């Protein structure tokens, strides 16, 4: 991790923290409505999302939209081991959740898994993004490891879409060789699609 990434992470975490609860709620509702109209959503059957930690972009309306559209919703579960990736498990209404070692909610039942490459769309949290689709995450490299296979593919499947507040956009983000780029970012104002 570069020192630069560390500084940007600190500054943009703080920006994200400033957003008021009412704005968060409105942003999440707008994003869900907007997402439902996107071709990438309509064409997707297997969609990974996440349960937001306190300052991440809220996803509950989006998860409800996935269920309502009769699509399959998956949540990330941390693998064990020294350099864990994420396993995506089916999440249905009413499924029991518990906190993992980072205090992130995960489904208790992990029997219904999907291979990451079989997902059509993955909605991912982020701390900052830029106009080229670079993503700055929390710094664990979890999403980068989980979708590392995308670098070798000509056709991107799953499509990776970041969920973010518009203020999380930064002019230019540093990018390391292992960073997996986003195909799109959905904010409370717009959907940005990035050229490859």
Ligand X SMILES: Nc1ncnc2c1ncn2[C@@H]1O[C@H](COP(=O)(O)OP(=O)(O)OP(=O)(O)O)[C@@H](O)[C@H]1O
- Distance of alpha carbon 175 from the chain centroid: 18
CB under 5 to 8 A by kind: which of ligand X, Mg ion, none does 142 bind? ligand X
Least distance to ligand X, CB of residue 49, Å: 15
Closer residue to ligand X, CB minimum distance, 104 or 148: 148
Least distance to Mg ion, CB of residue 25, Å: 28
Q: Which phi-psi region, left, alpha or beta, contains residue 112 (left: φ > 0; alpha: ψ -120 to 50)? A: beta
3-state secondary structure labels for all residues of 16-83? HHCCCHHHHHHHHHHHHHHHHCCHHHHCCCEEECCCCCCCCCCCHHHHHHHHHCCCEEEEEEECCCCC
CB under 5 to 8 A by kind: which of ligand X, Mg ion, none does 138 bind? ligand X
CB under 5 to 8 A by kind: which of ligand X, Mg ion, none does 143 bind? ligand X
Contact (Cβ atoms closer than 8 angstroms) between residue 48 and residue 17: no
Closer residue to ligand X, CB minimum distance, 47 or 126: 126
**Is residue 141 part of the contact set for ligand X (CB under 6 A)?**
yes
Q: Give the SS3 label for residue 9.
A: helix
**Is residue 136 part of the contact set for ligand X (CB under 6 A)?**
yes
Closer residue to Mg ion, CB minimum distance, 24 or 134: 134
**Is residue 1 part of the contact set for ligand X (CB under 6 A)?**
yes
Least distance to Mg ion, CB of residue 96, Å: 31
CA distances to 104, 131, 147, 171, 183 from 195, rounded to whole Å, are 32, 10, 18, 16, 8
- State how far the Cα of 182 lies from the Cα of 132, in Å rounded to an integer: 8
**Is residue 122 part of the contact set for ligand X (CB under 6 A)?**
no
Chain residues that interact with Mg ion, rule: CB under 5 A: 144, 179
* Among the listed residues 76, 133, 137, 158, the single contact to ligand X using CB under 6 A: 137
Closer residue to ligand X, CB minimum distance, 122 or 136: 136
**Is residue 5 part of the contact set for ligand X (CB under 6 A)?**
yes
CA distances to 51, 83, 142 from 134, rounded to whole Å, are 22, 22, 15
| Binding stretches for ligand X (CB under 6 A) | 1, 5, 136-145, 148, 176, 178-179
């Amino acid at each position: 991790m570069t020192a630069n990434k560390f500084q940007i992470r600190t500054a943009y975490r703080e920006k994200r923290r400033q957003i008021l609860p009412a704005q968060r709620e409105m942003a999440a509702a707008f994003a869900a409505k907007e997402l439902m109209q996107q071709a990438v959503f309509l064409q997707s059957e297997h969609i990974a999302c996440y349960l937001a930690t306190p300052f991440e972009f809220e996803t509950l309306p989006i998860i409800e939209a996935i269920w309502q559209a009769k699509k399959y919703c998956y949540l990330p579960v941390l693998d064990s081991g020294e350099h864990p990736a994420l396993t995506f498990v089916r999440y249905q209404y009413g499924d029991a959740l518990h906190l993992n070692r980072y205090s992130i909610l995960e489904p208790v039942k992990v029997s219904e898994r999907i291979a990451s490459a079989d997902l059509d769309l993955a909605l991912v949290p982020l701390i900052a993004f830029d106009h080229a689709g670079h993503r700055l995450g929390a710094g664990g490299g979890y999403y980068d490891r989980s979708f590392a296979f995308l670098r070798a593919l000509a056709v991107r499947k799953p499509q990776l879409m970041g969920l973010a507040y518009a203020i999380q956009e930064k002019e230019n983000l540093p990018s390391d060789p292992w960073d997996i780029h986003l195909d799109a970012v959905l904010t409370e104002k717009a959907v940005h699609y990035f050229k490859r």
